[in-house]
Every structure is written in structure tokens, then in C-alpha cells.
């Protein structure tokens, strides 16, 4: 019989790609959604009938324990979080509850029901923050620069701690930024590709951004969920950096995105101090050597291909809304 996986954060970018991957592999996939007054599961609507959806919240221990007890999964992927860095300054306590303590609740649910269940924790390159070494690898010390980064450091260490304390197969994937046409519109890559498409179609006149000098190691989300799965198939639980090993400034992403629609970016982009952060992560570049050597994982999508596919997808989506 196929394996069962529980995915928290199923309605998010990564949840949707991971669900597709696991369904292709013959898994029974159980997605955790939280109660809302409207159901807008736009990223997983195409999987209706293939997924089981259950209701639970990272803030509520008993709901998580019930899901684990009732579904008895082989693997749990904890992708749910308050994941937008600027929102973590506006809502620092809530971010700590979801993104930090939520991990303990998931671990406790597993420990109390069946310590044999394997667990993946979605850790982040934001933990490196003010970087101590270039490139960043598994052994690089953390120095987070936002309440989100601080919460993720807690999530990372509580995962390591439950592994060491209770012998759980719990791993922390330290993933660098990964993007797609399913990325939330507030994150810089999608904000840019959506903005470029709007400008090209005459729906907007400008694109307002913050710090164009920040550098990120950007990959494609579809490649990164493969690494999550691979981590849970290993003989022993270990933590891995997942990255492309290349970095680009926000300005490079902007330039390339505008080039995709044959426009120069300079006349359209306005730097707006509202989008500048109280503390910035200036440079991220990961070293994925361990993942390559031990998991056989490598990214398949280049930076240029990523920008192109995101611009094309936004152009297609928005073209459908423009009346001719
Ligand atoms: P995302 O699109 O923002 O999705 C977040 C998911 O978490 C959504 O399904 C959301 O549900 C759910 N969620 C939020 N609060 C919850 C709560 N209290 N209870 C239950 N579910 C809750 O994030 P993503 O980009 O897919 O990222 C997935 C994970 O990887 C996150 O933990 C993120 O912090 C981490 N990460 C992401 C990146 C990246 O570059 N994408 C890099 C490193 C780590 P709703 O739909 O109801 O809001
Ligand atoms: O910002 C700069 C901004 O919001 C990237 C999350 O998935 O990846 C993501 O966090 C950079 C920053 O992602 C705008 O200052 C300039 O330097 O797309 P972002 P992030 O903060 O790197 C990590 C790995 C995660 O774990 C997180 O969950 O772009 N930037 N102008 C801007 N950023 C935004 N959002 N909007 C702007 O207008």
C-alpha cells in the first residue's frame, strides 16, 4: 500500500507543488487547512478529488493531535507558517505563535501519537540574516534579522531538539528563496512579474519597490519540494541547505523581467521607502553541496527560466481579464 503524508500549509505555494509530487508518487495526501469564512483554495483547486482536506490550526494543539491520530501518516511536512517577513514586524507575537511554537505543537502531536512518523520542518535562509560566512552552509551560525527569522530559528532548533531528545526522524530543510507563478503577490518576485505584466498590458503605469540592492539565491519551488521529499527518504535524519548557489540583486530580477516584455525598467520603477525594512538581509547565497552529494538533489530551473516563466504566466492570466 502507498504511504500517507500530512501536509500543513497545503494551500500555500509549496504545499501545492508538494501535493502534486506526492500524488504522482502514489501517496495518499492529507492537507491541513485552517477554518476560514470563505474557501479560496486557488492553488489546489485543480487537485480536488485527489486530496483529502482536514481542518486544524497551528495555534491549536488538540486539532493537530487529532489530525495525526486520525490519519496515521508515514510522513508529516510542516509547511504552515506566517511566511511574509514584513508582516512579522507588524504582528511579531502572532508570527512567534505560528512560525515558532506551531512547530512544537506539530512535534508534540507526532510524539504523542507515534514517534515513528517522519517529519519535515520548513526552515529558512532568513535564519542566516546578517551572514557570518559566504556562501551559507549547514554549519553557518544564525543571525536572524526579523521576527520571522527569529521564529524560524526556534523552529529549527526545536526540530533538532526533538530528534536528539526523543529519537524522532525530524529534519530541518534550510531552503533559500524559491518562487513560481503560484507565489503570493506580496513577495518581491511575484510583485515584479505581476507589475511588469500590468504595465505591458496598460493596466498600470509604475511599479513601486523597496531595496533594489538586496541579493537573493532564487530557485524554482517545483525543484525545491523534491528536496523535501528526498530528505525524508534517507536512512538517517539530517538537516540540509537547499539553494542554487547563485545570487542576484532585486535590480537584476527587475531588469530581466522587463526585458521579457521588451521594455526598459528605469522609466517604470519607483523606489518607495514604505517597502524598505527596519533591518535588511543584504546578501544570501547558499551552498547546496551536501544536498547534491547525499540526496542527489540539484535544481533544474535556471534564474533566467524562472523569471521568464513567471512573467509569461502573469501576462497570460492578466490578458484574460483585459477586454478587447
Ligand atoms: P505560503 O505560500 O505563505 O503558505 C503558508 C501556508 O501556511 C498557507 O497554506 C497558510 O494557510 C498556512 N498557515 C498559515 N498560518 C497557519 C495556521 N495558523 N494554521 C494552519 N495553517 C496556517 O508559504 P510558502 O512559500 O509555501 O512556504 C512554505 C513554508 O516554507 C513556510 O513555512 C515558509 O515560511 C517556509 N519557507 C519558504 C521559503 C520560500 O522562499 N517560499 C523559503 C524558506 C522557507 P492560508 O492559506 O489559510 O493562509
Ligand atoms: O523579499 C526586497 C526585500 O519578500 C526579498 C519568504 O518566502 O524568502 C522569503 O523572504 C527581498 C528583500 O522575500 C520589495 O527587502 C525590495 O530583501 O520576496 P521577499 P524574503 O524576505 O527574502 C525566505 C527564504 C523565507 O523564508 C520567507 O518566508 O526583496 N524588496 N522591494 C522587496 N520585497 C517585497 N516583498 N516587496 C517589495 O516591494
Note whether 135 and 269 are same-domain residues: no
Residue 262 has a CB neighbour count (10 Å cut-off) of 7
Sequence-distant (≥ 6) Cβ neighbours of residue 59 within 8 angstroms = 97, 98, 102, 105
> How far apart are the CA of 126 and the centre of ligand 2, in A?
10
**CATH code, domain with 108:** 3.40.50.720
Cell of 149: 527569522
Residue 222 in contact with ligand 1 by CB distance below 6 A: no
Give the atom of ligand 2 at the shortest distance from the alpha carbon of 211. 16
Give how many domains the chain has, as a whole number.
Answer: 2
Note whether 171 and 149 are same-domain residues: yes
**CATH code, domain with 211:** 3.90.25.10
- Predicted confidence (pLDDT) at residue 324 exceeds the cutoff of 60: no
Mutation test residue for ligand 2: of 89, 122, 188, the one with most atoms within 8 Å of CB: 188
Catalytic member of 17, 88, 120, 126: 126
**111 part of a folded domain:** yes
- 263-290 residue pLDDT tens: 999 999 999 999 999 999 999 999 999 9
> How far apart are the CA of 27 and the centre of ligand 2, in A?
33
Per-residue CA distances from 104 to 79, 122, 164 (Å): 13, 13, 14
Note whether 67 and 208 are same-domain residues: no
Note whether 9 and 131 are same-domain residues: yes
Domain holding 252, by residue range, is 184-216+247-283+301-319
Note whether 53 and 173 are same-domain residues: yes
Q: What angle do CA 5, 10, 11 make, to 5 degrees?
A: 165
> What is the pTM assigned to this prediction?
0.98
Q: What pLDDT, on a 0 to 100 scale, did the predictor assign at position 323?
A: 64
**324 part of a folded domain:** no
Note whether 98 and 194 are same-domain residues: no
How many angstroms separate the CA atoms of 324 and 319, rounded? 10
- 130-164 residue pLDDT tens: 999 999 999 999 999 999 999 999 999 999 999 99
Note whether 188 and 169 are same-domain residues: no
16 is catalytic: no
Amino acid at each position: 500500500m502507498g504511504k500517507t503524508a500530512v501536509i500543513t500549509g497545503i494551500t500555500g505555494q509549496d504545499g501545492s507543488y508538494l501535493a502534486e509530487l506526492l500524488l504522482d508518487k502514489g501517496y495518499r495526501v492529507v492537507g491541513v487547512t485552517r477554518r476560514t469564512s470563505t474557501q479560496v483554495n486557488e492553488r489546489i483547486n485543480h487537485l480536488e478529488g485527489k486530496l483529502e482536506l482536514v481542518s486544524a490550526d497551528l495555534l491549536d494543539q488538540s486539532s493537530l493531535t487529532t489530525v495525526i491520530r486520525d490519519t496515521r501518516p508515514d510522513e508529516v511536512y510542516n509547511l504552515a507558517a506566517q511566511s511574509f517577513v514584513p508582516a512579522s514586524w507588524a504582528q511579531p507575537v502572532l508570527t512567534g505563535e505560528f512560525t515558532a511554537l506551531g512547530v512544537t505543537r506539530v512535534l508534540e502531536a507526532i510524539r504523542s501519537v507515534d514517534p515513528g512518523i517522519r517529519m519535515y520542518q520548513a526552515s529558512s535562509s532568513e535564519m542566516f540574516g546578517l551572514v557570518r560566512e559566504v556562501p551559507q552552509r549547514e554549519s553557518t551560525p544564525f543571525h536572524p534579522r526579523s521576527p520571522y527569522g527569529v521564529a524560524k530559528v526556534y523552529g529549527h532548533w526545536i526540530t533538532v531538539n526533538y530528534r536528539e531528545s526523543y529519537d524522532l526522524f525530524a529534519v530541518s530543510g534550510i531552503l533559500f528563496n524559491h518562487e513560481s507563478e503560484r507565489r503570493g503577490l506580496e513577495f518581491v518576485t511575484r510583485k515584479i512579474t505581476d507589475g511588469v505584466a500590468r504595465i505591458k498590458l496598460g493596466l498600470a503605469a509604475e511599479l513601486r519597490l523597496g531595496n533594489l540592492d538586496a541579493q537573493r539565491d532564487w530557485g524554482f519551488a517545483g525543484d525545491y519540494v523534491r528536496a523535501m521529499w528526498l530528505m525524508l527518504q534517507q536512512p538517517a535524519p539530517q538537516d540540509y541547505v537547499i539553494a542554487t548557489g547563485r545570487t542576484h540583486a532585486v535590480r537584476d530580477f527587475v531588469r530581466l523581467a522587463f526585458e521579457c516584455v521588451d521594455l526598459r525598467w528605469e522609466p517604470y520603477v519607483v523606489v518607495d521607502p514604505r517597502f524598505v525594512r527596519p533591518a535588511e538581509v543584504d546578501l544570501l547565497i547558499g551552498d547546496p553541496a551536501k544536498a547534491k552529494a547525499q540526496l542527489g538533489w540539484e535544481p533544474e530551473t535556471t534564474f533566467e527560466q524562472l523569471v521568464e516563466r513567471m512573467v509569461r504566466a502573469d501576462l497570460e492570466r492578466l490578458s484574460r481579464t483585459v477586454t478587447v
